[in-house]
Structure 1
Amino acid sequence: MRAVTSRPRPRGVRPATGAERGSLSAETVLLAPVFLLFLLFLVGAGRVVEAQGEVNGAARDAARAASVERTLSDAEAAADEAARAALSGECEPEVDLDGSSWQEGGRVRAEVTCSLDLEFLGFGVAKEVRGDSVVPLEQFRRVE
């Protein structure tokens, strides 16, 4: 059998005294909740960034869908349908379509607003996410 020998202690490191024993456990108990809160914050921030991208995409889809319609009322219905399809259950989008330039060669602007629920992370907060997009109307297309 071989005797178990301890490694030589590096220079300048003193042995732990009785008062310092178990300090690593105490530090872990104190720092673990802070670390978990930090991780929850990162997950929440990531969810907000992801939702912002989804809402921007829904606004783009809504503006494109509106731009191919001939009447403003059909454009509003198409924009609402496109935004709901793009977000598909993520939230209940509110679509605001600006048709003040609804004419040949004009433009249509769609703004989509969505309330993001962060309750599942324990924050108890809802964040409003907003995206908008502007699409030109064709120059030689007749609109009513």
Structure 2
Amino acid sequence: MNRVNGDRGSMAVEAVLLAPVMLIFLLFVVGAARIVEAKGEIDGAARDAARAASVQRDQGSAAAAAAQAAQGLDCVGGPNVSMTGIPWAPGGSVRVTVGCTVDLSAVSGFGFAPSINMSSTSVVPLEQFRRIQ
């Protein structure tokens, strides 16, 4: 076992230098995963809200049903739901947009803003086998 005296302790120095880089990379992955997860949740909420609105009889109850369907989102200040019926008649469709401010404060010091605004839109045909008032 011939050891060169110049290699002594080099593994410890490499570990000390690489540990912060690996930690920053890991926190970046966590932040990116949070953004992807939030986008998926917002897309799902928009789809669910549009479906809930499409089975209602009038635009007023449809707007209420869409807002109720999107309430499960974890948004700063709650989700923002807007709905339009194009036209509100058999054969028409309903468009629901769900907006959300996602909290990223846990990873904001690692290249992420403290929060990010995201939105998603879903269009669903109105249920044809219901009476419109």
Q: TM-score range by the shorter chain?
A: 0.7 to 0.9
Q: Does residue 1:34 correspond to 2:33, yes or no? A: no
Find the residue that maps to 1:59 and give its secondary structure: helix
- Do the aligned residues in 1 keep the contact of 2:96 with 2:121 (CA within 8 Å)? yes
The CA distance in 2 between the partners of 1:117 and 1:109, in whole Å, is 26
Is it true that 1:93 corresponds to 2:79 in the alignment? yes
Structure 1: unaligned runs, 5 residues or longer: 1-5, 10-14
1:140 Cα deviation after fit:
4.8
Query: In the aligned structure 2, how far is the partner of 1:132 from the partner of 1:108?
Result: 10
Output the CA distance in 2 between the equivalents of 1:24 and 1:64: 58
Structure 2 regions of 5+ residues with no counterpart? none
Amino acid at match of 1:52: K
Equivalences for 1:1-144 in 2 at 5 Å?
6=1, 15-17=3-5, 19-84=6-71, 86-87=72-73, 90-91=74-75, 92-123=78-109, 124-144=113-133
Amino acid at match of 1:128: N
Aligned Cα root-mean-square deviation (Å):
1.8
CA offsets 1:79-119 (integer angstroms, 9 cap, x no match):
011100x32xx111111112232211100011111111111
Give aligned pairs, total.
128
Q: TM-score, normalised by structure 2?
A: 0.85
CA distance in 2, matches of 1:94, 1:36: 35
SS in 2 for 1:135: strand
1:33-63 Cα distance to aligned partner (Å, 9 max, x none): 1100111111111111111111111111110
Question: Under a length normalisation based on structure 1, what TM-score does the superposition of the two structures give?
Answer: 0.79
Higher helix share: 2
| Percent of aligned pairs with the same amino acid | 52
Bigger drift between 105-114 and 126-135 goes to: 126-135
What amino acid is the match of 1:83?
A
Counterpart of 1:16, as a letter, is: V
CA–CA distance in structure 2, aligned partners of residues 39 and 94 of structure 1: 32
Following TM superposition, the consecutive aligned residue runs of length 4 or more in structure 1 with deviations greater than 6 angstroms are none
Q: Give the Cα separation in 2 of the matches to 1:16 and 1:81.
A: 71
